[in-house]
Amino acid sequence: MKARLPRILRTLLKPAVAVAAGGAVTAQEGPLFTAVQPTNGEVTLRLAAPAGMACRLEAAADLVHWSPLAIFFSTGSTQYIDAAAPFFASRFYRALSLPNPPPFGGDVLATTNGDVVIQPRFHATFVVSWNGKVIYNDPDDAASYQGLPKADLILVSHSHGDHFDSPTINTVRGSNAVLVVPQPVFNSLTAAQRAIAVVLTNGATTNLMGLTIEAVPAYNANHPRGQGNGYVLTLGGRRIYASGDTGNIPEMRALENIDVAFICMNTPFTMTVNEATNAVQAFRPKVVYPYHYRNQDGSQNNAALFKQRLSTSSGIEVRLRKWY
């Protein structure tokens, strides 16, 4: 079915920001839309702003109830693809300068207790900022952490080298960081790391730093049951699921009320594209990020194929981001 294009408001406003410069006050232009281009039902937005300016991109269906899409630190010109646009009859956008930004930019999920900022890094690694805390998921040695704040909380799904690296944990952890790990990972930690680690078995839950962490089973033919975890984070009334390495298992299919899901898909180690599509159609997260999608042969077409097969008719937003 051909997706209906929403009506789009493109407003070229020029908000000003007062900037102190040598005792004088000068005017600085805020972010400006330079292009709003519908593409296959989605909308590509291009914005210009002074380099280094923190900007917040928002969308609304009615010009009254605005929701955040992303926060970014401008390099002069920025592009953002709104993958949710096909699900709205009308879609309006605005961009604002942000005087007190979070420590890094990314996609934004509004909660009852402040915004969650999500930034993909590499393969299975992403970072989250929420309520003054920074969370790292599966930091491995191939990812770059330059410019990121140290972690308050580190989640490790299992012991494979593309998800767990003990020296990398030392690189990214803050002075009061807590690790959440399955038992096999705990067994491979240093003594100092064990002292700050919480072990969660499949089905166990803990509360840390104002959020709830539930360990979900993650297993398939390449990952024995009970050796690894997926995680569901509940923060500010929102639920974020990271699959870890898993197959299309009943425990994942039975998940409920997931706002954002990170879903693995690469052969021969995790799910095929068909399996991932089938799983997501079962538990129906509002937003899904395909990640961990590079195959053994180096090919990276799984994410795009997954999005094509899920299609906008599912009502699930698929966000393609740069993981490699």
**Which part of the chain is CATH 2.60.40?**
7-14+29-97
**Hey, CA dihedral for 248, 249, 254, 258, is it positive or negative?**
negative
3-state secondary structure of 107: strand
CA-to-CA distance for 158 and 302, rounded, in angstroms? 22
Phi, psi of 70 (to 5 degrees): -160, 155
Task: Summarize pLDDT for 177-209 with one digit per residue, the tens.
Answer: 999 999 999 999 999 999 999 999 999 999 999
Buried b vs exposed e over 45-84: b needs ≥16 C-beta within 10 Å? bebbbeeebbbbbbbbbeeeebebbbbbbbeeebebbbbb
**Which part of the chain is CATH 3.60.15.10?**
106-318
Q: What is the signed CA dihedral for 134, 137, 142, 144, rounded to 10 degrees?
A: -20
21 bridge partner residues: 24
Q: Could you tell me the pLDDT band of residue 142, with boundaries at 50, 70 and 90? A: confident
Buried b vs exposed e over 142-157: b needs ≥16 C-beta within 10 Å? ebebeebebbbbbbbb
Which residues, other chains included, contact 291 with Cβ-Cβ below 8 Å and sequence gap of 6+?
120, 123, 124, 126, 262, 263, 264, 323
- Tell me the average pLDDT of the chain: 91
Q: Could you tell me the pLDDT band of residue 312, with boundaries at 50, 70 and 90? A: confident
Q: What is the pLDDT of residue 157?
A: 98
CA-to-CA distance for 122 and 323, rounded, in angstroms? 5
Mean pLDDT of 95-110: 96
Other Cβ atoms within 10 Å of 15 Cβ, number:
13
Q: What is the pLDDT of residue 19?
A: 30
Q: Are 6 and 86 in contact (CB under 8 A)?
A: yes
Task: Summarize pLDDT for 60-85 with one digit per residue, the tens.
Answer: 999 999 999 999 999 999 999 999 99
Cα–Cα–Cα angle for 163, 204, 232, rounded to 5 degrees: 55
The owner of tokens 């990170």 is: 262
Task: Summarize pLDDT for 217-260 with one digit per residue, the tens.
Answer: 999 999 999 999 999 999 999 999 999 999 999 999 999 999 99
3-state secondary structure of 98: coil
CATH dotted code for 106-318 = 3.60.15.10
**DSSP annotation of 86:** G
- Asked whether the predicted pLDDT for residue 17 surpasses 60, the reply is no
Choices 2.60.40, 3.40.50, 1.10.357, 3.30.70: CATH for 7-14+29-97: 2.60.40
With CA atoms as reference, report the closest residue to 182 among 200, 162, 197. 200
